[in-house]
Amino acid sequence: MKAPTLEGLSSRRLVAALLAAALLVASCGGGGDKAADTSPAVAQNSEATEAAAQVAAGGREEAMAVGVARNSQRIRQVVTFGDSLTDVGTYRVGGIAQVGGGKFTTNPGPVWAETIGLLFNARVTPFRQGFGGTSQIVGGTGFAMGGSRVSQQPGIDCGPDPQTGACTQALTIPVAQQIGDYLGANGDRFTRNQLVFVFAGANDIFFQLGVFGAKVKAGVPVAQAQAEALAAVLRTRTGADVRIPEKNEEFDLWN
């Protein structure tokens, strides 16, 4: 029987089915890191098989989407931008890593982006890792960071220095800057052989809720504080300066 292909299944339906099932797997804490004495190739194949089985269990369309993903010759790389929902281990360093933490899931289980990557044989690992105000670039395709906002610092749990504003805890690099970091490291281009995800915005709402509470506590009328918080969230939606370079290969852009 002929294997399903990207052309045989709507791209939107493919991504929607995989994403929904991968999010469910992540919320249930499925999967996990394999034994250290397993070779990387064998470990990845084992994880991919496990991920495929878990996602395919979601139903007929999910099973078809898994078949498409695993037989895809087009998608070579999965690139992710966003916040804690998509963070594949930015903060998995030092003492955090030693106790098995560092991802916003049931550690050591995968977040949804890792599951999607495994299905396409395109593992998603952190681009940058660090905590406490210091970090290093490690070169993966996972740019998302827990606590990040769309275009501004401080993010959630950034712990800004009172004098400089620099983060002293979580890095929380904004999503607009994450995309800029990607472009700077990849010749200012995306390609049609990538599957690119951008999920963000929730932390801007959380941040403005904190500002709202502080204003009300300081005596600002509730209605005024509400209006100012809403205006700030709306500015976040329209104010992020994210550029799609002109020299990209042809690719689909979904809103």
Per the model's pLDDT, the better-predicted residue between 236 and 244 turns out to be 236
The gap between the terminal CA atoms of the chain, to the nearest Å, is 35
Collapse the DSSP code of 56 into the 3-class scheme (helix H, G, I; strand E, B; otherwise coil) and give the result.
helix
pLDDT tens-place string over residues 15-58: 666 666 666 566 555 555 544 445 566 566 788 888 888 877 87
Neighbours of 245 (CB within 10 A): 11
Which of 44-53, 66-75, 241-250 shows the lowest mean pLDDT across its residues?
241-250
Query: 234 falls in which pLDDT band (50, 70, 90)?
Result: confident
One domain, residues 231 and 150: no
Query: 149 falls in which pLDDT band (50, 70, 90)?
Result: very high
92 sits in which H/E element: none
Give percent of the chain above pLDDT 90.
52
The Cα 183–Cα 191 span in angstroms is 11
Expressed as residue numbers, the domain containing 129 is 6-200
DSSP 143-212: ---TT--SS-S--TT--B-TTT--BSS-----HHHHHHHHHHHTTT---TTEEEEEE--HHHHHHHHHHH
pLDDT score of 103 more than 80: yes
pLDDT at position 68 is 80
pLDDT at position 49 is 83
Average pLDDT, the chain: 82
In a domain, 247, yes or no: no
Query: 8 falls in which pLDDT band (50, 70, 90)?
Result: very low
pLDDT at position 109 is 83
Question: Region 134-139: what's the mean pLDDT?
Answer: 96
One domain, residues 164 and 228: no
pLDDT score of 102 more than 60: yes
One domain, residues 169 and 220: no
Domain count, the chain: 2
One domain, residues 227 and 145: no
Per the model's pLDDT, the better-predicted residue between 248 and 150 turns out to be 150
One domain, residues 174 and 222: no
Query: 1 falls in which pLDDT band (50, 70, 90)?
Result: very low
One domain, residues 135 and 158: yes
In a domain, 161, yes or no: yes
The pTM is what? 0.82
Query: 84 falls in which pLDDT band (50, 70, 90)?
Result: very high
The Cα 85–Cα 230 span in angstroms is 23
Interior/surface letters 156-192, b for 16+ CB within 10 angstroms, e for the rest: bebebeeeeeebebbbbbbbbbbbbbbbeeeeeebee
One domain, residues 45 and 83: yes
In a domain, 252, yes or no: no
